[in-house]
Amino acid sequence: MQISDVQVRKSEPSAHLGSAHFSIYTPMSESTELIQEILGTIGQPADYRTDALQLLETGESRYLRDFKLNFTSTLTSEHLSAKECALLGLSTAVNNQNKPLIQYYTNVAKQNEATDADVAEAVGCASLLASNNVFYRFRHFTQKEKYTQIPARIRMQLMMKPVTGKEFFELMSLAISAVNGCEMCVNAHEDSLIKLGTTEERIFDAVRIASLVTATGKIIF
């Protein structure tokens, strides 16, 4: 490597050597720049690293470009408002127990006029659907009529009069169910949404956001 290939700064003459010193700075790698941009957006310190993030940085992975763009797109949609995108992100982050992303999407939701009640409902939705997804997935797996006859005994009052609205609560429920892999729940919520007049594009985007928040959480947690 030649001196011309890197940044060079001339320092003051040395009192001991009577000559000028040169400090050579290695430029920051593209991977490090991308990581710091993502961390800055989320509100994490520049030196924050998970093992997964460190491996991507060390390997100069091209995936970091995709990672950044995918993460950024969780807040953009032609069919969902910025507030709805953030609440979907929050509910997914709670479902995935991801503290940095919970804090990030809470802040973004409030910046887009989400109330404390809206935020609390996104959190509650993730918790309620965690129980529903396990329970109804079990029923679906076993295919036994007996299990459909026994009362579920899962209280679901939150679904009755959601502060975010029936349609959006169903949308969050569908997204969480997709993340948790409950086929019966996905079909039930999708059917309810279609009957409520929700477009398939809006449904698709909600699931897209949930999938990308989940992907982000595999690297930053």
State the catalytic residue, choosing from 80, 185, 207, 210.
185
Other beta carbons within 10 angstroms of residue 178's beta carbon come to 23
State the catalytic residue, choosing from 102, 171, 182, 206.
182
Burial state string for 157-177 with b = 16 or more CB within 10 A and e = fewer than 16: ebbeebebeeebbbbbbbbbb
CA distances from 50 to 44, 53, 67, 104, 216 (A): 12, 5, 15, 17, 12
Q: Is 85 assigned a catalytic role?
A: no
Report the SS3 class of residue 7: strand
* C-alpha span between 135 and 137 (Å, rounded): 5
Q: Is 125 assigned a catalytic role?
A: no
Catalytically active residues, by annotation? 182, 185
